[in-house]
């Protein structure tokens, strides 16, 4: 300072911002990298032919692709941030909840679901995949669903071909046994009645009039059997002139014996084939219900034994418990 008090010099201070600038550049680079990764993820999820949704640990939607939007019929703005229960509804959520609980404890789960749709049900194959944090905690999960309706329809068509008798359109032996197996797996064995049926002296029709006429008789008899039962029952041609009827939801043996009498009456009506009118009859073995410890082969064995008894008794009649 001069004698007059005037300031003759100055003082300056500075802050080194080199490190801060470097940190800001690193942050910008990281943000750009995240944006590129997010753009890549969106491109990938849009290209995959599947419905994709990402959920947090509270089951709220974090992300959905356009396939999921189209399937649900809602824009993603109306989906993201809401819970599965809110978006899917309580009934549909309850259908999915067992698998949600499993994925949220770290298990990858795969399952199938069907959904009502115009023109028939749609079938989805669904996978839930857990999202893990670095510390081992579950951060949510990814849901991936693919439409397998066409595959299901084709499988059903092939199964129908495999399990149907080509001549009569009834179940064949494989279809019959599959129906019995499913019925017992579903716990309906105790209320099933089985009618084992033979056309009496059918061989003489083939020998006298030829196999084409015999085939017509089998076709006509199969149609008559179908008209005797409910849609929930099963009618099968087991081979040759052997048929079977499976009655479901039967309360007592008398109901099965009533149907057996109708089968016998239907067989006695002459079969009109071209210029011929052919007479025949049918023998029926009846078995109702089975021991819980037994399975469907036991029901077949008993019905077959009763059919043999009906034939021994003179044919054109039925036998069963009670006879």
* CA–CA separation, 152 and 167 (whole Å): 26
Helix, strand, coil shares of the chain as percentages rounded to 5?
45, 25, 30
Largest interatomic CA distance in the chain = 149
Judged against a pLDDT cut of 80, whether residue 23 lies above it is answered with no
* CA–CA separation, 305 and 323 (whole Å): 12
* CA–CA separation, 166 and 163 (whole Å): 9
* CA–CA separation, 235 and 231 (whole Å): 10
H-state helical runs in the chain:
18-47, 66-72, 84-88, 90-103, 149-163, 173-185, 202-209, 211-228, 253-268, 296-312
Judged against a pLDDT cut of 80, whether residue 120 lies above it is answered with no
Q: Is 241 one of the annotated active-site residues of the chain?
A: yes
Judged against a pLDDT cut of 80, whether residue 230 lies above it is answered with yes
pLDDT at residue 266, rounded to an integer = 95
Give the count of beta carbons closer than 10 Å to the beta carbon of residue 231.
6
3-state class of 127 per DSSP? strand
Higher-scoring residue by pLDDT: 162, 76:
76
Instruction: Name the segment(s) of the chain with CATH classification 3.30.70.270.
Output: 161-320
Judged against a pLDDT cut of 80, whether residue 78 lies above it is answered with yes
Tokens of 278: 């052919």
Higher-scoring residue by pLDDT: 221, 47:
221
pLDDT band at 188 (very low <50, low <70, confident <90, very high): confident
Instruction: Name the segment(s) of the chain with CATH classification 3.30.450.20.
Output: 45-148
Q: What angle do CA 248, 252, 257 make, to 5 degrees?
A: 85
Contacts of 198 (CB under 8 A, 6+ apart): 241, 242, 243, 282, 283, 307, 311
Judged against a pLDDT cut of 60, whether residue 178 lies above it is answered with yes
- Range 61-89 average pLDDT: 93
Judged against a pLDDT cut of 50, whether residue 202 lies above it is answered with yes
Third-level CATH fold of 161-320: Alpha-Beta Plaits (3.30.70)
CB of 179 within 8 A of CB of 233? no
Q: What tens digit of pLDDT does each residue of 238-248 get?
A: 999 999 999 99
pLDDT at residue 323, rounded to an integer = 45
CATH of domain 45-148: 3.30.450.20
* CA–CA separation, 110 and 96 (whole Å): 11
Mean pLDDT is lowest, of 80-94, 178-192, 268-282, for 178-192
- The string of DSSP codes covering 67-100 is HHHHHHTS-GGGTTTSBHHHHH-HHHHHHHHHHH
Mean pLDDT is lowest, of 56-65, 178-187, 246-255, for 178-187
Q: Which of 165, 200, 233, 241 is catalytic?
A: 241
Tokens of 60: 């709220």
């Amino acid at each position: 300072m001069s004698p007059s008090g005037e300031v003759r010099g100055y003082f300056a201070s500075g802050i080194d911002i080199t490190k801060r600038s470097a940190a800001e550049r690193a942050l910008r680079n990281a943000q750009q990298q995240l944006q590129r990764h997010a753009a890549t993820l969106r491109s990938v999820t849009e290209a995959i032919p599947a419905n994709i949704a990402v959920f947090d640990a509270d089951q709220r939607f974090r992300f959905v692709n356009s396939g999921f939007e189209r399937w649900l019929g809602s824009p993603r703005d109306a989906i993201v941030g809401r819970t599965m229960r809110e978006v899917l509804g309580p009934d549909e959520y309850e259908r999915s909840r067992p698998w949600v609980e499993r994925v949220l404890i770290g298990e990858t789960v795969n399952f199938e679901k069907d959904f009502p749709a115009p023109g028939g049900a749609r079938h989805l194959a669904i996978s839930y995949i857990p999202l893990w944090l670095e510390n081992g905690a579950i951060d949510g999960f990814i849901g991936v669903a693919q439409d397998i309706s066409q595959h299901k329809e084709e499988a059903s068509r092939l199964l129908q071909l495999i399990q149907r008798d080509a001549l009569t359109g009834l179940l064949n032996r494989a279809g019959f046994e599959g129906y019995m197996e499913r019925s017992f797996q579903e716990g309906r064995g105790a209320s099933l009645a089985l009618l084992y049926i033979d056309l009496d002296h059918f061989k003489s029709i083939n020998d006298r009039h030829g196999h084409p006429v015999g085939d017509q008789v089998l076709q006509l008899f199969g149609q008559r059997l179908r008209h005797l039962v409910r849609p929930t029952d099963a009618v099968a041609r087991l081979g040759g002139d052997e048929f079977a009827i499976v009655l479901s939801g039967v309360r007592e043996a008398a109901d099965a014996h009533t149907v057996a009498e109708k089968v016998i009456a239907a067989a006695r009506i002459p079969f009109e084939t071209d210029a011929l009118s052919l007479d025949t009859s049918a023998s029926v073995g009846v078995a109702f219900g089975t021991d819980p410890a037994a399975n469907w082969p036991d029901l077949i064995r008993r019905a077959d034994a009763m059919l043999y008894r009906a034939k021994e008794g003179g044919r054109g009649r039925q036998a069963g418990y009670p006879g």
